[in-house]
Amino acid sequence: MDYSSMHCQHCIRIIALVSCLIAIVAGQYATAPGIEYHSKALERVFEARNLELGFPTPKERERVLRAGLYDPDSVVPIDVDVYYTHGDKTPSIFVTIPRFTKGVPYSLAYVTNEVRENGTELRAYPSYDWHQSHGADCNGLTSVYRTQIDECGRMWILDSGEIDFVQHCPPQLYALDLASGGVVHHYRLPQDVYKTGVSRFVTPTIEMDAKNCDVGHVYMADSIGDGIVVYDVAAQKSWRIENKYTYPHPDFGTFKIAGESFQLWDGSVAMSLTPHGLAGHLERMLYFHSLSSDWQMAIPLSVVNNGSIWKRNDVSAGLDQFILLGKRGSQCVAAAMSETGMLLCGLVQPPSILAWNIRQSYTPENMALLIEDEQRLQFVSGLKIVRNHEGKEEIWALSNRLQKAFGTGLNFKEVNYRIQKCGIYELLNGLPCH
């Protein structure tokens, strides 16, 4: 698909998409004359030339610098997560920093109010101790790519167990209660659901029973092992889904962003669920895609959640249940679903937020580039839809210029890392984000 033809029709498509959405939500058609859809931007929340990491003491900072456990040039954020404590309009903002090298002192952090030379200071979460063993204590956190906060105020943390791409610990999943900081769940993945030395668990997606926070499933994307592991929280059992649809595609192994290109050969990276009780979608679905691919896939949740269907090394298990929804022409990194059934993702080319209304066919004319920003949306590896203190949905995006970090190198004189947000209603209706 050619996105250059999409640019000039940007307005028309957004209006069509938005009116359709309004029609569904409000039961009537509405047009929005006079709204300026172009040059809209997300609201800036956080910008940094480099991540500024805080330490328990200046002495500890010196120690890790000397020991080679902190290299300021190699701390690259991947994900953002946001939590509004009940009634409080200032949220807690969390950031993940996978240990791509040995020089990452901690892998999960929160944003403070302290502004320093390179940007706002981060501090370790849940505490510095959790990260301090650098892979020696597998009960601590070794390397976190992404997290997800559920509707019960708990943060699910997927730990890949690797440092510098070497497996130090088995992959594991933690759930922490954000109010108390206490561990509410811990699961170490058994060897029969991952590939030792190959698997890289990068994204958790949570499905919770509306009435019982301890019943549900966690879907874990294994981007290098090319599969999805399903974890039944109540039964504490897991199984692995792997077949041609969880793999990368040769046409999309090269990523071109803002004039630079690099190679990524990654399978399953992002998963999202259709909202509960969506009219016309009686069966809930899991949508997923591979990073190095442009295929958008779907599978009924009842099939994914039925452990008896999936067998280790059986690439034909459940195969006829997979649906290829369509191809989008470029890669998407992170994805998130709104309560109204809009699937959003961070599109690589052009750098933008892509939206698709899940009631329509997955074709270019039913997709819209809500925000296109080559400067400020270079590699959106973190994307979340969260509910704010008023119960309204917001999108939060983290971009990190990964093509430079993994390619020619970052220029620390310019802003490399950004966290931006917008109300979902404002974003979909072409209104200013702030």
Ligand X SMILES: *[C@@H]1O[C@H](CO)[C@@H](O)[C@H](O)[C@H]1NC(C)=O
| 306 in contact with ligand X (CB under 6 A) | yes
| 50 in contact with ligand X (CB under 6 A) | yes
Tell which phi-psi region holds residue 165, choosing left (phi > 0), alpha (psi between -120 and 50) or beta.
Answer: left
Give the nearer residue to ligand X in terms of CB position, either 251 or 414.
414
Long-range interactions of 303-308: CB distance < 8 A, separation 24+:
304/217, 304/219, 304/228, 304/230, 304/241, 305/207, 305/217, 305/230, 305/232, 307/230, 307/232, 307/237, 307/239
48, 52, 264, 402: which one contacts ligand X (CB under 6 A)?
52
Contacts of 57 (CB under 8 A, 6+ apart): none
Give the nearer residue to ligand X in terms of CB position, either 375 or 412.
412
CB of 313 to ligand X, least distance (A): 18
Residue list 73-112, contact with ligand X (CB under 6 A)? 73
CB of 72 to ligand X, least distance (A): 4
Strand 120-124 and strand 52-53: the pairing is: parallel
Q: Which of 407, 64, 359 is nearest to 255 (CA)?
A: 407
Residue list 118-147, contact with ligand X (CB under 6 A)? 118
CA–CA gap between residue 138 and residue 169 (Å, rounded) = 5
Give the nearer residue to ligand X in terms of CB position, either 53 or 353.
53
| 412 in contact with ligand X (CB under 6 A) | yes
First to last CA, the chain: 33
25, 35, 72, 187: which one contacts ligand X (CB under 6 A)?
72
CB of 175 to ligand X, least distance (A): 25
Give the nearer residue to ligand X in terms of CB position, either 32 or 315.
315
Stretch that binds ligand X, among 220-228, 301-309, 344-352, 414-422 (CB under 6 A): 301-309
Stretch that binds ligand X, among 20-28, 98-106, 222-230, 306-314 (CB under 6 A): 306-314
Contacts of 160 (CB under 8 A, 6+ apart): 98, 142, 143, 144, 145, 171, 199, 200, 201, 202
CB of 56 to ligand X, least distance (A): 16
User: Quick one: DSSP state of residue 193?
Assistant: G
Residue ranges that bind ligand X, judged by CB under 6 A: 50, 52, 72-73, 116-118, 302, 306, 308-309, 412
